[in-house]
Amino acid sequence: MATSLLLRHSSAVFFSKSSLFFTKNNSSRSVTSIKMERGEASEVITEKTGEGNAAKKMVFVAGATGKTGKRIVEQLLSHGFAVKAGVRDVEKAKTSFKDDPSLQIVRADVTEGPEKLAEAIGDDSKAVICASGFRPGFDLFAPWKVDNFGTVNLVDACRKQGVDRFVLISSILVNGAAMGQILNPAYIFLNVFGLTLVAKLQAEKYIKRSGINYTIVRPGGLKNDPPTGNVVMEPEDTLSTGSISRDQVAEVAVEALLNEESSFKVVEIVARPDAPKLSYKDLFASVKGGN
């Protein structure tokens, strides 16, 4: 479990202009613009497209060639979104994706500061996904450079571009000390590598203070295998064990954009074979919003 959490975790962030939600109904997908002030909705503007297609709204994905990021890109495209894939090596990334007129590949490094990230995001992105995560190595500051400062840079870049919808994929146990899990082997193991979970937790706190409409998704240990159970979604600081397929994590990230119920919430997710299959609308609605 500890090894799975460390070697397989990556972070993801979603943003959208004017607190955009990409909602679904029985006959079509629609783009709903909702001005949110901590849960207070005002004018709703709906832009309908054909059945089964989301409006071609641009979503920026940082870390798009990672194991989770690539799945997020693919699922966004399958939902009808336009995607701007932010990567460190553009030429290498071109070999990772099939040609798609709805996909752009741009250079973006979350450690290089908000100004360059804002240029990569552009003024056409309605949402930003950060699927970046540090790679274990000899640099003990890597978790802070990527999972903390990198996420902060993305938030600040979104502010510069007027983007106001943020979904971060973090990790269960980030607040393990407060949960009484300080002796949990996974919590200990992860923090040996540059206090990884502490770095993620500080980034979460920055997001909450930023005023951006956020969804923070904390998955359990990430598996490369296809899903073997249904998604279980719990409030923050609830789960201390469990795993989930990266495919399902990507699905939850995209569904956070499609469901208003995900707004201003921290959710923890794992998969269990005996769990009932619920709609994402119901899953998000079952979790109370943050402060």
- pLDDT for residue 291: 57
The CATH number for 95's domain is 3.40.50.720
| Cα angle: 134, vertex 137, 141; to 5 degrees | 60
- pLDDT for residue 285: 97
Instruction: Of 49, 50, 45, give the one whose Cα is nearest residue 34.
Output: 45
State the average pLDDT for the chain: 83
- How does pLDDT run across 88-131, given as a tens digit for each residue? 999 999 999 999 999 999 999 999 999 999 999 999 999 888 88
Determine, yes or no, domain membership for 102: yes
Split into its structural domains, the chain has a count of 1
CA distance 11 to 68: 8
Enclosing domain of residue 153: 61-286
- Scan for tokens 């071109």, then name that residue: 94
Q: What is the pTM of this model?
A: 0.82
- pLDDT for residue 20: 46
- How does pLDDT run across 213-247, given as a tens digit for each residue? 899 999 999 999 999 999 999 999 999 999 999 99
Determine, yes or no, domain membership for 27: no
- How does pLDDT run across 9-37, given as a tens digit for each residue? 444 443 333 344 554 443 333 333 333 34
195 contacts: CB under 8 Å, gap ≥ 6: 143, 144
- pLDDT for residue 1: 54
CA distance 122 to 163: 10
Which runs of consecutive H residues, i.e. helices, occur in the chain? Answer: 2-8, 67-78, 90-94, 114-121, 142-143, 149-161, 185-192, 196-210, 246-258, 280-285
Q: Which strand ranges, in their side-by-side order, compose the sheet holding 41-48?
A: 20-24, 29-36, 41-48
Determine, yes or no, domain membership for 43: no
